[in-house]
Structure 1
Amino acid sequence: MNDTLRRLNDAGTAVWLDDLGRDRLDSGELARQVRDGLITGVTTNPTIFHRAITHSGAYDGRLAGLARLGTAPADALRLLTCADVRRAADVLRPVHDASAGIDGMVSIEVAPGLAHDTAGTLAEARLLHWLVDRPNVLIKIPATDAGLSAAAGCLAEGIGVNVTLIFGLARYRQVTQAHLDGLERAARAGLDVSRIASVASFFVSRVDAAVDARLDKRGTALARALRGRAAIANARLAYELHEQVRSGPRWQALAALGARPQRPLWASTGVKDPAYDDTRYVVELAAPDTVNTMPAATLSAVIDHGEPRGDTVRGRYEEARGTLEELGALGIDLDTITEELETDGVARFQDSWQQLTAGISAALGAEGNPHA
């Protein structure tokens, strides 16, 4: 393991890769990264698959075969993405086994169009769980009202979940409660809760992008001083909430049954503003029992020049609260911003999914598929 990543690991942060595609699998690049100890998990989303499938010829042969079978575009899309996730899960299975099921996970997301459909999300989550058929796979479900009900339902059935598109503290609190609810239902049903994994994907860089845009319009010295501070403060307070939940009686009762905590997973950790250090959303959010899923460029930057300083979250809560109070004094309401980011995040993934479906439909049609 690279020394920088070892220091992150020592601080309690597991490094996952926020990327997947057939090129990475076929070339052996993913296997090498796992073998060398660079990553211990993988996350995917509709945008990642859209980029992987539409910008690579690695899927052409499979698409031609699916066209000859008359496969509908939606079915072809699921077959292609599930195949990639299944292969990635097999690559990461040794990590999963060696860590007693804590790491070595791969995530696959339900169709974004189901974000406000509890029954549809739960049905697709069950389907994905069955199609991939690997113990080290998490089903990604957005943290909408409907999604949280579906996530709790999945956990109650023993299906591991990655609750995603979390931007704000109020929503994250609801995510933690859904996790407790799902595990309690699983325990009442007689399931082994020690085998049910979950992470909560708390988005980081998009918060700074949205807040900084508002700060730039203020033009004051305080506004300039607050640039780039909102996202890390917001995430640190989410971790404080995570600690509070773990100290509560509901979690303690589940822990006594062997339940695993729902680890905070820092997502959207690629820096969007070139004025900022490109490793800041990694080194400033290192803490026990966390995951940081990084785009390939961010992972490379961390390996090359990242400077972890141990735990950079605990003990910084008052400072974080002060940052949010200063933002409030400028009339910047982070709750409103994070609600808008959730809506926008769902819309972005829906758009990527629709574009990918259209692209696959066109590819199947080119092969003479009557369903395209």
Structure 2
Amino acid sequence: MKTSIKIICILSIILLSACAGRNKQKQGAADNIEATNKKEITDRWTVERITEWYNHQPWIVGCNYVPANAINQLEMWQEETFSPELIDKELAWAEDLGFNSLRVFLHYLPWKEDKEGFYQRVDQFLEICQSHNIRVMLIFFDDVWHPNPKSGKQPEPTKGVHNSGWVQCPGIEILQNLGEHEASIKAYVKETMKRYKSDKRVLIWDLYNEPGNPNTSSYGDIELKNKETYSLALLKKAFQWAREVNPTQPICADVWRAGDADLNKLDAIDKFCYKNSDVINYHAYFPLDKQKKVVAELKKSNRPLLATEYMARTANSTFENSLPFFKENKIGAYNWGFINGKSNTIYPWHSWQNPFEKEPKVWFHDIFRKDGTPFSTKEVELIKSLTQN
């Protein structure tokens, strides 16, 4: 009996050891997969790779674009209001200026409600851009202006108010409940990137415009509390999803509060964007002296720079004091605004507090009227002199 018990014990020990060994082997394999995945999704382009890519590009110059008849991203991309003929007409003016790139906002809602139709419209838009020798920076998310986007008919512009109808993406309802919507939001990013990951018409991916913007002077009373925490969570996931796709184009997100010209003062969101973007994308509404200080600081990254928003005339950010500097330093440049349309961005930011009764003498943003007449012939001549030489 004792012998039998000993044999059973020995066999049990052998069996447990074998199981433990197999479990350890499985755990080791799982750990290796996790480590590999982690490496893959954090594999930022090296300085050498992004520099080589950038050296093969012309000086990147263009604008943030929305058609004149669209008050926001939804009106641009929804089937009922998508306007390829108008886009074609307006992009002919952009081509004439010498613009070779546009920064363009996508939106989750048109994708969610009509994915195939949405992609057909994006394809058509890219075809129009290509016909005008323009390549596109596509943006997935945006934390600026109205926090509750809704599909369907969009509101008319509020008279004399800057960007009165622009909407956030995905909006605060999804942002604060990301776990419930993550599968769909992830698919929006990854399926779109997979579709265009090798498409030469797409120049760059901008994952998130101004993440964490509290919109204090416009929608602050209905905004998320601790919004930056939620935005940072989505920002990190967006980078993870993008790295998993591994597109041929570089990815980035906005360092939009670099105004202190001190990298040590960047908040958590801007610091994450700075440390994870392939190319440094920053917002540049500065006069020239401050612009130089900010650029000197950002150049410490040894990466190419893109000023993805600039030109607010009455804030002393102008074509005259910015664009020659950008070209001299081969900094990509996208001014905000193109056509004086439903976005109302000829009015300044503070029009939210004091709406304008009539058109301002000096436009805040934008270059052309709806008929193609420039706000300033002198500005147009300057732009052409820099883009066409």
TM-score, normalization: structure 1? 0.39
Q: Which structure dedicates a bigger proportion of its chain to helix?
A: 1
Structure ID, larger Rg: 2
TM-score, normalization: structure 2? 0.38
